[in-house]
Amino acid sequence: MRRLTVPLILAAVLGLLVTLAQGGGLDLYTQSVLMFMGINVIMSASLNLINGHMGEFACGHAAFMAVGAYVSSLITVALFAQDTVFGAPLLPESLSVAFFPLALLAGAAVASLFGLLVAIPSFKTRGDYLAIVTIAANYIVKSAIENIDAIGGARGFMGMRRVTTAMESTAELPWMLIWCFVTAVFCVWVIRRYVTSTYGKGVMAICQDEVAAEIMSVNTNRIKLVTFMLSSGLAGLAGGLFAHVVGYVNPGSFTILKSTEAMVMVYMGGMGSISGSVISAVAFTLLLEALRPLQILKWVIIPLILILLMMFRPEGIMGNKELSDVFPRLKKYFKFK
C-alpha cells in the first residue's frame, strides 16, 4: 500500500479530470487554466533544480522553453497537419497520438542541447556573471528565432491546432489535458529521482560550496553539465506543451518576462523545495487568472505581493523543506527508494 498510494491518487485525479472534461463538467476555460498549471509546474520545478538545488542564479529559462516549443511544433505540424511550409501531412492522423510524445521528447532533446550554451560557460563563470550568461542566452535564442524566416520569424508559427484536432479525431479524449498532467507528474518524478540520486548529492554539494565540493572529488563540471541539460530539457517539454495548448507561438512570448515568471514561482515556493515549487506554480497560475480583470494593474499587484512575501517570509512558502518534512505523517503514504 505504501508504495502505491501516490500513483493511485494521481491516477484517480487524472481519471476524474478526464471524465469531468468528457462529461462537460469542465468548460474550456477551466481546462486551459489546468493545462497552464501543469506547464507552470514543469517550469518552476525545472528552474528550481538550477536556482534552488544547485544554488546558481539562472534567469533565462524561457529560452529553452522557446526551443522546445518550436522544435516539437515543427515536427508535429510537418507530420500531421496541412501547412504552407511543409505541405500535406506526412503521416496518417491515426498515428498522431503515438507520435506526439515522441515529438515532445525530441523538442526536449534539442532544448537540452541548447542548455550547453549555458552549461559550458558555467564551468568557469559563477554567481552574477552566470546570470548574465543566461540572460544573454535568452536574448540569443529569441533573436535567432526572429531571424529564421522559414519558421515565421517575428510573425510566429501556427498550425498546432490542427494537430490537436487530429489527436481528438483519432480518439475522443481531452488529449492536451492528459499530456499536460502526465508530463508534469513525469517531470516532478524525474527531478525527485535526480535530486536524491548520487548526482543529486553532488548538486547539493555545489550549492553549499563549489570549491570544497571540487576538493572532495565531486566532478563539478560534469554535474553542472548534466543538471543544466536536464533542467533545460524539462523546460523544453514545457515549451512543447505550451505551443500545442495555445496553438500559436511567436518569439515575443519567450522574453525575459516569461523567465521572470518562472523565477517568481521558484522564489515564491522556496529554494530547493520541489513541493514548494509545485504549490507556488499552482497558486501563481490561479492568482494570474483571478487578477485578470485588473488588466495592467495585475502586473503591479503581483510584484507587490511578492515583495511583501519577501519582506515577511523571505524563504518563500515552503522554505527549504518538502511537504513531508512539514507534515511527517505524510511519509506513511509514500516510499522513496
Partner 1 sequence: METILQNILNALQWGSFYSLIALGYCLVYGVLLLINFAHGDVFMVGAYIAFFVATFFLGHYAFALPFDLPGWAILALSVPLVMILTAAVGVTLERVAYRPLRRKGAHRLYVVITALMCGLILSNGNLALLGASRRNFPELIDKVIFDFGWIRFTNLKVIVILTAVLVFIGLRLIVTRTKIGMAMRAISWDKFAIPLMGIPVDTVIVFTFILGSSVAGLGGLLFAMSYPILDPYMGAMVGWKAFIAAVVGGIGSIRGAFAGGFLLGFVEIMVVAVFPSTFRDLISFTILLIIMTYKPTGLFGMARTTKI
Residues of this chain that interact with partner 1 (CB under 8 A) are 51, 57, 117, 120-121, 124-126, 128-129, 131-133, 135-137, 139-140, 142-144, 146-147, 154, 209-212, 215, 256, 260, 263-264, 267, 271, 296-297, 299-300, 302-304, 306-307, 310-311, 314
CB of 238 to partner 1, least distance (A): 21
In the complex with partner 1, the residue whose CB is nearer, 31 or 134, is 134
User: CB-wise, 259 or 285, nearer to partner 1?
Assistant: 259
CB 299 → partner 1: shortest distance, Å?
A: 4
Minimum distance from CB of 148 to partner 1 (Å)?
A: 11
Nearest to 272 by CA among 66, 62, 50, 113: 50
Minimum Å gap between C-beta 245 and partner 1 is 25
The CB-of-273 to partner 1 minimum distance in angstroms stands at 15
Distance between CA atoms of 39 and 18, rounded to whole angstroms? 17
Rounded least distance, CB 200 to partner 1, Å: 21
Between CA 167 and CA 173, with CA 170 as vertex, the angle to 5 degrees is: 70
Nearest CA-CA partner of 78 in 121, 107, 120 = 107
CA atoms of 145 and 155, how far apart (whole Å):
10
What span, in angstroms and rounded, lies between the C-alpha atoms of 88 and 99? 17
C-alpha cell at 318: 515552503
CB of 20 to partner 1, least distance (A): 36
Cell of 294: 485588473
The amino acid that residue 258 corresponds to is K
Nearest CB to partner 1, comparing residues 16 and 294: 294
Closest to partner 1 by CB, 8 or 116: 116
Instruction: List residues bridging with 157 in a β-sheet.
Output: 249
**320, 114, 65, 134: CA torsion to nearest 10:** 60
Burial class (CB in 10 A: 0-12, 13-18, 19+), 230: buried
For residue 107, which of 162, 70, 150, 146 has the smallest C-alpha distance? Answer: 70
Q: How many CB atoms lie within 10 A of CB 247?
A: 16
For partner 1, which is the closer residue by CB, 84 or 208? 208
- Closest distance between partner 1 and the C-beta of residue 315, in Å? 8
Instruction: State whether residue 20 is helix, strand or coil.
Output: helix
Comparing CB distances to partner 1, the nearer of 22 and 219 is 219
Query: Would you say 48 and 275 are in contact if contact means Cβ atoms under 8 Å apart?
Result: no
